[in-house]
Amino acid sequence: MENFNIVWHYKDLLLKGLGYTVFVSVAAILIALCVGMLLSVMRMGGDSLPSRILKKIVAVYISFVRGTPVLVQIYIIYQALAVMGLNLSNLASGIIALSLNSGGFIAEIIRGGLTAVPKGQTEAARALGMSEPKILMRIVFPQVFKVALPQLTSEFINVIKVSPMLSVLAIVELTRTAQRLVTQTYINLPFYIAIAVMYFVICAGLEELVKLQKKRLERR
């Protein structure tokens, strides 16, 4: 029991690591949503030659994201950004890596939701003179998110669960903090149980927030 008291002694460091995890996850999720929306629209493009080429490129990108380990993608993106001369912080590089990974999965989720929107609605909107961006933002995507919310929630939770992989970039998020404390104190189980509880609380809290939002959407 005394070993578990040490968790309370280092609570400030653990909470700081938790703050990094929440920040990284929220930032990555928001960017990934934008990436996923853009990619899904590209994949649903027309039949012209440029559109077909673009759809093929997006399809290859999504296949790469879904078929390779996240850790490998983090290394590739981190090194690629450096080669391109973009002197970003490790934190920014890590967020970009998670965003590009999750964006590929979100694109497929949203694409499935796009097929559920009746074509008559978009055709009617075009007849009324609405632009394509307005049709997407005001008519299509609100319905897509209502349909795809459960799958999107699962992907958001997955972002939180893979965020510890950013420790390879020396980002001191929750898991990295626990690892440092284990090295410092030679006590491991209490710290790992503590961060497991923290991750569970974050993910469970996110699920509850999404459930509340879903009920609000259903009442409209």
| Domain range annotation of the chain | 2-219
Name the residue among 155, 199, 174, 157 with its Cα closest to residue 65: 155
Tokens of 145: 């998110």
Task: Return the number of other C-beta atoms located less than 10 Å from residue 112's C-beta.
Answer: 14
Which tokens go with 160? 């939180």
Average pLDDT, the chain: 90
Entry pTM: 0.90
* 220 pLDDT tier (thresholds 50, 70, 90): low
Query: Does position 86 have pLDDT exceeding 80, yes or no?
Result: yes
* Residue 2 pLDDT > 60: no
Cα 65 to Cα 32: distance, rounded to the nearest angstrom: 13
Token duo for residue 14? 């653990």
Instruction: Dig out the tokens for 65 from the structure.
Output: 């994201």
Q: Rounded to whole angstroms, how far apart are CA atoms 103 and 35?
A: 5
Most confidently modeled range among 38-47, 72-81, 140-149: 72-81
CATH number of 2-219: 1.10.3720.10
